[in-house]
Structure 1
């Protein structure tokens, strides 16, 4: 299980810990969250929609809205299809004890240079927004989960194609 968190810019990031109730109708259409999606062998890009285990979400993947709270699966699809979110950067935390404050601090990288490099403008000047997919205490301790995934989205609605270089 991983947790999706919103970044709060007034001070430090704060964890959202509302339990995700699921994506019932979508899961029945796309299948149950297991394994990985079909991917292009050369680029690694998703070639068809799939409901996958949250640990199968990779850098560059596009997704339907994951909601908030603790996640066990995600609906990923080709970025050429209308989608809600895109994983644009990953941060690997060092080994050690799990600490929400350390994860919150590291998550701020998502709206720094990584954001500016990906989008083409700074976060403060952008119309786009960011959330994160982060380890839970359980995934940290049981699965050696150390990856924070930075996820970009347009609050105005779905996009088609990557937001790389969007400059907005």
Structure 2
């Protein structure tokens, strides 16, 4: 449904380390869309208890466990004050049009630009933290009108508790 890409690997190695996430038809997309959402605080929208949700239900500000490798159809999200691996800190919505991997790669560079600096408090190249992205696949683009790139921050040293907003490292 989406593809994971580690941005630091892209910058340092010149090529993305990607978790290729593919769907095999409309039934898989319909299953993802139908998984519902986690329990959320009505005012803040923050997750109030751990839940396994379809990947389309992951929202800006959500914290989650490592998505692993292989086909990504769901995610384990949880309150950010609990130990977690990743946090969605920024979203980019692509314009309609034909699916183009190059356009998605170019747009996802925003994840390590001003959005990163504003969120963390230091520039990406000066930070100890790392970034990965959830991006549309050709199938999700064409079959589910998926246009959102989610920028996800994580600490390569291990799990964190609380948001990494303003971490300054």
Scaled by the length of structure 2, the TM-score of the pair is 0.87
What is the distance in 2 between the residues matched to 1:57 and 1:167?
25
What is the distance in 1 between the residues matched to 2:59 and 2:15?
23
What is the distance in 2 between the residues matched to 1:112 and 1:13?
18
Match of 1:23 in 2: none
Aligned-residue offset at 1:148? 0.1
Structure 2 residue runs of 5 or longer lacking an equivalent are 23-33
The structure that is helix-richer by fraction is 2
What is the distance in 2 between the residues matched to 1:19 and 1:91?
19
State whether residues 61 and 88 of structure 2, in contact with CA within 8 Å, keep that contact through their aligned partners in structure 1.
yes
State whether residues 14 and 104 of structure 1, in contact with CA within 8 Å, keep that contact through their aligned partners in structure 2.
no
Asked whether 1:109 is paired with 2:110, we answer yes
Match of 2:5 in 1: 5
Q: Deviation per CA, 1:101-129, whole angstroms, max 9, x where unpaired?
A: 11111000000000000000000000000
State whether residues 21 and 137 of structure 2, in contact with CA within 8 Å, keep that contact through their aligned partners in structure 1.
no
State whether residues 86 and 153 of structure 2, in contact with CA within 8 Å, keep that contact through their aligned partners in structure 1.
yes
Q: Number of residues paired by the alignment?
A: 156
Aligned-residue offset at 1:70? 3.5
Match of 1:91 in 2: 92
State whether residues 3 and 20 of structure 2, in contact with CA within 8 Å, keep that contact through their aligned partners in structure 1.
no
What is the distance in 2 between the residues matched to 1:12 and 1:91?
22
- The structure-2 alpha-carbon separation of the partners of 1:147 and 1:34, relative to structure 1 and needing over 3 Å to count, comes to same
Aligned-residue offset at 1:3? 1.7
Aligned-residue offset at 1:16? 1.9
Aligned-residue offset at 1:67? 1.6
SS of 1:9's partner is: helix
What is the distance in 2 between the residues matched to 1:87 and 1:13?
22
Moved more, 69-78 or 145-154: 69-78
State whether residues 119 and 165 of structure 2, in contact with CA within 8 Å, keep that contact through their aligned partners in structure 1.
yes
Structure 1 residue runs of 5 or longer lacking an equivalent are 21-32
SS of 1:105's partner is: helix
What is the distance in 1 between the residues matched to 2:21 and 2:37?
23
Match of 2:162 in 1: 161
Match of 2:145 in 1: 144
What is the distance in 2 between the residues matched to 1:96 and 1:135?
13
Q: Which runs of 4+ in 1 moved over 3 A?
A: 10-13, 17-20
